[in-house]
Amino acid sequence: MRRAVCPGSFDPITNGHLDIIERASKLYDVVHVAVAVNRSKQGMFSVEERIALIEETTAHLDNIQVESHSGLLVDYCTARGIPAIIKGLRAVSDFDYELQMAQMNHGLSGVETLFVPTSPTYSFLSSSLVKEVASLGGDVSHLLPGVVHARLVERIAERRK
Ligand code: PNS
């Protein structure tokens, strides 16, 4: 089985993430989507909610496994026999930090990182920008899967109460 991991915070999953996961799913037998647990950062959604949204929005793909992980990503990979990390690159500005992480991860464990160029449609897209725009009343419905958009709008309304 050829395995790869798409890691991230996914708070929440966007159409940009989904595009990368769908493309990875065509290249590998099994694609693990690893949701990073960051105890020092309060998210908009809990890790369990993020996982549920990823599972719902990738239900049309038959080779996706969604899990949370804490600690080093390369330890997650080594424990599961995953030799490759797939990352979307949106713009040159992503490259510096992504290259550092890729080199560190390879040096630590031999796990490779493969960069996939993000679709130009999503090159400006990030979960944090989507949350900011939605919180200020902007329309982000075209940037998120329908179910995710509905949950985000709900969550923002709940937080206003
Ligand atoms: O969606 P994000 O927040 O840009 O994802 C970043 C993520 C989770 C992929 C990255 O921070 C990560 O791999 N964290 C796991 C901890 C780790 O291995 N850190 C060392 C990276 S060299």
The pLDDT value given to residue 138: 98
Residue 99 in tokens: 């290259």
Contacts of 68 (CB under 8 A, 6+ apart): 34, 35, 36, 37, 47, 51
Q: How many helices (H) and strands (E) does the chain have?
A: 6, 5
Q: For position 41, what pLDDT does the model report?
A: 86
Q: Which atom of ligand 1 is nearest to the CA of 71?
A: 16
User: With 90 as the cut, is the pLDDT of residue 161 above it?
Assistant: no
Q: Note the pLDDT of residue 42.
A: 86
Does ligand 1 lie within 6 Å of residue 18's CB atom? no
| pLDDT mean over 69-95 | 97
Q: What is the three-class DSSP state of 30?
A: strand
Residues in the chain: 161
What distance in Å separates the CA atoms of residue 107 and residue 104, rounded to the nearest whole number? 5
91's enclosing H/E stretch is none
Tens digit of pLDDT for each residue in 98-107?
A: 999 999 999 9
Q: How confident is the model at residue 40 (pLDDT cuts 50, 70, 90)?
A: confident
Residue identified by tokens 């985000």 is 152
Joined tokens for residue 64:
């996706």
Closest alpha carbon to 148 in 6, 5, 17 = 17
Mark whether 126 is an active-site residue: no
Q: Is 17 a catalytic residue?
A: yes
pTM of the model: 0.97
Which residue puts its alpha carbon closest to atom 8 of ligand 1? Answer: 8
Dihedral angle sign, alpha carbons of residues 116, 122, 124, 130: negative
Q: Is 90 a catalytic residue?
A: yes
Please state, in angstroms and rounded to a whole number, the distance separating the CA atoms of residues 53 and 33: 12
Indicate the pLDDT class of residue 112, thresholds 50, 70 and 90.
very high
| Pocket flag, ligand 1, residue 14 (CB < 6 Å) | no
CA distance 81 to 75: 10
Using only the alpha carbons of the chain, give its radius of gyration. Answer: 16
